[in-house]
Amino acid sequence: MQQSLVAPQAGPYANAHDLARGADYARRDADWRFGPIVYQVLVDRFAPSADLETKRDLYASPRRLREWDERPTRGEYLEEARVWSHEVDFWGGDLDSLRARLDHIDAMGADVVYLNPIPDALTNHKYDATDYRIVAPEYGDRDDLRALIDDVHARDMKLMLDGVFNHTGRRSPRFAEASTDEASEYREWYTFDERQPNGYKAWYDVANLPELNLENHEVRGYLWEDEDSVMKSFLADGADGWRLDVAYDIGFEYLRQLTQEAHEFKPGSAVIGEIWSYPEDWAHSVDGLMNFHLRAIVLTLARGEIPGAHAGDMIETMVEDAGVEPILRSWLMLDNHDTQRLATMLPDTDRRRIAQVLQFTLPGAPVVYYGSELGMTGGDDPEMRGPMRWDLIEEEDPDALAELEWTRSLIDMRRSSRALRIGDYRALETQSCLAFMRRTDRYSETVIVICNASDEPVREVIAVRDSKQMGSNPLIDQLTGDEHRAFSGLLDLEVPARSVLVLKPRPIEAHRYTPHKRMQ
């Protein structure tokens, strides 16, 4: 017989502090940008196209079309094309083949599908756009993109695009004209200077990536200010926001302007900046950022290279400096198209599990890089961009299926916890472990996380900084089912080596005595 449970109380049972902050949690709860699960896709590498034979001519030299079971390897520099050969290796995925595999992403529990760049470009990574407004023909066209967006929305998910607004490709017609005609109307769109290694400013001096002159108002108008700008036209097509490549190169003020333009054109849209430095100042220019700083802390801790308490101090300072809401809207990825894959970085399963549990319990939006839910491996560029291993699912590879089940369990835990999605962050004092609390205005939603990344078990006595948590009701580890109790506001427990505890109050049985009867 199913037990009836006491629902969290509201209204007159809330204390003054709860009443003061309850509206903030309700606002966050209604805003998809706070703490969603993000699934990242490289269109070319996600699913093989059903129409590959009809579009083989789109992969003419210097491009090469590979077989789906091939793995990317580093190639040679192609002097004439000014790119590396592995940059023009393709596997043939497109928007339609992605649409056909949305069931997998939906079943994962994702809230957001994030696509790496899709504009017309020479390379497979598409960070060298020739025309921002045209979808790469090998991927499809704008109608195909709109159809994908409709399908994503029908599944109650959002779709984010990748905006590469710092530079174009060398094959852009605007750059080609500007570089050969000093009277061209596009001459001031770029910065030509013979002192530069290529004769013009380029991103990291890469010849194929000439930088745009964002100080030119026509460039800004074309990219984001005009009503028919690149940014706004794709938002009008149904896209829900933009992840901005090398946002640090765009700068604080232009990011602020772009974000404001996006919000005014499409209220509720998201702008996420790629930032590889400390989040504090950037948090005021975008909705959120790719939180590489927090990622670095998590991975360093998971490797056992720093004490947990020190990691906790750094995380607490970051949240205080940047503000909890910008951090909640920021993306926390462990791997992506620019890094080694997680299973390669952390081949030890216990240490990989530590990083993943922290990714899904710390504030922010966890990002799952396609294939990492199957334990796909991959080293430095281009190895981490291998084609999706659907064969591991189809052939029921036990290791891949175990990894998939584990990832789904973390997503389920995250989605079922309001505190993990939108709750505040509160550090807990320890001697050696990382410990923190995620909480809202409801006692039953509090989550306490304790991480011991060392090779030895550790005893910790931790003050539980939540007045509503009482020893009469145990805290249940969401990963193991083990019970722990906090007496007089103290948790006294032994934390096993290389482990994370995720503790949450046991639901109250309606027919039992509870001191929580007049608490929210």
pLDDT in tens, 74-85: 999 999 999 999
Among residues 240, 274, 403, 460, the one annotated as catalytic is: 274
Average model confidence (pLDDT) across the chain: 95
Phi-psi group of 274: left, alpha or beta (phi > 0 → left; psi -120 to 50 → alpha; rest → beta): beta
Which pair of tokens denotes residue 149? 């967006």
In one letter, which amino acid is 267?
P
pLDDT in tens, 189-214: 999 999 999 999 999 999 999 999 99
Confidence of residue 180 (pLDDT cuts 50, 70, 90): very high
By the 8 A CB rule, do 491 and 482 touch?
no
Predicted local distance difference test score (pLDDT) of residue 298: 98
Write the DSSP string, 155-166: TT-EEEEEE--S
pTM to 2 decimal places: 0.96
Q: What whole-number percentage of the chain has pLDDT above 90?
A: 92
pLDDT at 4 over 60: no
Predicted local distance difference test score (pLDDT) of residue 12: 59
Q: Which whole number is the average pLDDT over 283-297?
A: 97
Q: Which whole number is the average pLDDT over 389-404?
A: 98
List, in order of start, the domains of the chain with CATH numbers: 11-27+424-505 (2.60.40.1180)
pLDDT in tens, 422-446: 999 999 999 999 999 999 999 899 9
Lowest pLDDT segment from 87-101, 217-231, 362-376, 496-510: 496-510
Task: Report the interhelical angle of 349-361 vs 398-415 (nearest 10°).
Answer: 20
Per the annotation, the verdict on 215 as an active-site residue is: no
Predicted local distance difference test score (pLDDT) of residue 3: 41
| DSSP one-letter code for 111 | S
| DSSP one-letter code for 380 | T
Predicted local distance difference test score (pLDDT) of residue 518: 81
Report how far residue 462's alpha carbon sits from residue 464's, in angstroms, rounded to the nearest whole number.
6
Confidence of residue 2 (pLDDT cuts 50, 70, 90): very low
Per the annotation, the verdict on 274 as an active-site residue is: yes
Q: What whole-number percentage of the chain has pLDDT above 70?
A: 98
pLDDT at 1 over 50: no
Among residues 18, 245, 287, 424, the one annotated as catalytic is: 245
Which pair of tokens denotes residue 104? 């997998």
Predicted local distance difference test score (pLDDT) of residue 28: 97
Phi, psi of 424 (to 5 degrees): -70, 165
